[in-house]
């Protein structure tokens, strides 16, 4: 697995930050994002970020806002900087100066079951179909799909082991019968192609020693959606959203879905109730139970 650091010499401060993230089992994606976001502050300052003052941080955030940086991006930068000042340089006083901005959470894009089927069938090879099927069938994040290894498939207990998911957490994801069948087909095909081995990546990249990148998985989803004539804005996380929503519509307890998704907080999972349209349609309105308008024709307009 490539280290999230450029080949250039690593400063002691940068190495300490990397060590702090590794100690907490941060994923490759999180480490890359934190290094990038702390680098933004260093570029703004024109000097090492550990020399920042409270006024520097205030000016940095004001400039971000003036430059039109999206609120989610600004909050992600705050998370990176708070970790840096709290953990790496032991300056909690500066971490407290960083302001997170409130923003309304958008409803996630969710595909219908037919759209998911069309998208999966529109992939151009078995590897891509299997990778996207894992994202939908097990509800995995794109980085979790990318980092799966063959040995993480537990066919006896019908589980997928997710190591170092978001926040460095480990969990077990569901492995359905159909998904296991598809993964076995991919295993046979991958062995014939010479890219699969028992200790290797489940979805190797062009270089079999490295996993299929999250960027490539994003392109695969977009191209499959285009081929399936799906007009919605689709990415890998759309399949995870669809997984959760479809389970909720089928009556799965939201607390079980929380475990399957690896959410730390229940309210994050409960957000899917807002897009579970089948669930809404199955609820009987208390007005209907009054029986006042049975047999009445619908009003005009």
Q: Which of 16, 149, 164, 237 is catalytic?
A: 237
Q: Which residues are registered as beta bridge partners of 172?
A: 161
Mark whether 232 is an active-site residue.
Answer: no
HSE, CB side, 13 Å, CA atoms: give it for residue 207. 5
Q: Which of 97, 127, 128, 166 is catalytic?
A: 166
Q: Which of 59, 164, 171, 263 is catalytic?
A: 263
Secondary structure (3-state) at 160: strand
Mark whether 3 is an active-site residue.
Answer: no
Q: Which of 141, 161, 233, 246 is catalytic?
A: 141
Tokens 């299997």 belong to: 130
Tokens 């995995």 belong to: 140
Non-local CB neighbours of 258 within 8 Å, separated by 6+ positions? 266, 268, 269
Alpha helices in the chain (DSSP H): 12-23, 28-45, 54-66, 71-83, 92-95, 113-121, 126-137, 142-146, 177-193, 214-227, 236-249, 254-261, 266-270, 277-282, 286-290
Of 201, 145, 146, 141, residue with least CA distance to 166: 141
Q: Is residue 172 within a helix (H) or strand (E), and if so which, with residue range?
A: strand 171-174
Q: Which of 127, 240, 241, 246 is catalytic?
A: 240
Mark whether 219 is an active-site residue.
Answer: no
Mark whether 240 is an active-site residue.
Answer: yes
- Measured CA to CA, the distance from residue 187 to residue 192 in angstroms comes to 9
Residue 161 DSSP one-character state = E
Mark whether 237 is an active-site residue.
Answer: yes
Q: Which of 28, 34, 136, 272 is catalytic?
A: 272
Mark whether 166 is an active-site residue.
Answer: yes
Active site residues: 141, 166, 237, 240, 263, 272
């Amino acid at each position: 697995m490539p280290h999230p650091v450029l080949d250039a010499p690593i400063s002691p401060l940068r190495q300490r930050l990397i060590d702090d993230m590794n100690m907490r089992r941060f994923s490759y994606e999180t480490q890359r994002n934190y290094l990038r976001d702390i680098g933004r502050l260093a570029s703004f300052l024109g000097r090492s970020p550990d020399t920042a003052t409270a006024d520097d941080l205030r000016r940095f955030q004001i400039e971000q806002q003036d430059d039109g940086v999206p609120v989610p991006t600004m909050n992600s930068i705050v998370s990176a900087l708070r970790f840096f000042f709290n953990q790496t340089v032991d300056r909690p006083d500066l971490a407290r100066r960083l302001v997170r901005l409130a923003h309304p959470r958008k409803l996630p894009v969710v595909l219908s079951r037919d759209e998911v089927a069309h998208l999966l069938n529109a992939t151009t090879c078995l590897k891509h179909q299997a990778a996207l099927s894992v994202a939908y069938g097990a509800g995995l994040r794109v980085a979790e799909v990318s980092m799966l290894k063959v040995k993480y498939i537990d066919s006896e207990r019908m589980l997928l082991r997710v190591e170092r998911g978001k926040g460095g957490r480990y969990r077990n994801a569901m492995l359905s019968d159909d998904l296991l069948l598809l993964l076995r087909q991919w295993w046979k095909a991958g062995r014939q192609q010479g890219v699969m081995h028992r200790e290797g990546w489940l979805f190797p990249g062009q270089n079999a020693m490295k996993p299929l990148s999250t960027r490539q998985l994003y392109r695969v989803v977009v191209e499959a959606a285009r081929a399936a004539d799906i007009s919605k804005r689709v990415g890998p996380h759309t399949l995870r959203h669809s997984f959760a929503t479809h389970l909720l519509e089928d009556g799965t307890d939201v607390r079980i879905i929380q475990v399957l998704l690896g959410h730390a907080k229940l309210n994050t999972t409960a957000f899917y109730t807002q897009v579970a349209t089948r669930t809404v349609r199955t609820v009987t309105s208390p007005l209907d139970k009054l029986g006042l308008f049975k047999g009445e024709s619908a009003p005009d307009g």
